[in-house]
Amino acid sequence: MDEYVNIRLKRDHLGQLIDSLDVQIEQWTATRDYLLDESSVTDVIIRECHKPEDAQWCVDFYSEIQDELRRQFPVAGGRSDNE
């Protein structure tokens, strides 16, 4: 069973955390894409990983965290989908 915790952050710190998750998701997505097709060229940092399914696991994991933060704090900031 998952254990839940309560944390207290300044609103701008939460926005920064959400932005950091955006970067993680972007990098792991680029890593997965690169592992699936090495010809996919990107200007995004590729993370150290050898299996596309491991990279996808990271994408899913960070996305789940980010989605939960945005669900609980919809006005916390972070990048919009238009950026």
Model confidence pLDDT, tens digit, residues 36-55: 998 776 788 999 999 999 99
| Residue 51 placed within a domain | yes
The pLDDT confidence band at residue 58, using thresholds 50, 70 and 90, is very high
Q: At residue 28, does pLDDT exceed 80?
A: yes
Give the chain's domain count.
Answer: 1
Q: Is the pLDDT of residue 77 over 60?
A: no
Residue 56 domain flag: yes
Is residue 27 within 8 A of residue 42, CB to CB? The reply is no
Distance of alpha carbon 81 from alpha carbon 44, whole angstroms: 18
* Domain hosting residue 47, numbered range: 26-72
Give the number of other Cβ atoms within 10 Å of residue 3's Cβ.
4
Q: How confident is the model at residue 76 (pLDDT cuts 50, 70, 90)?
A: low
- For residue 67, being part of any structural domain is answered with yes
Is the residue at 63 inside a domain? yes
Q: Is residue 81 part of a domain?
A: no
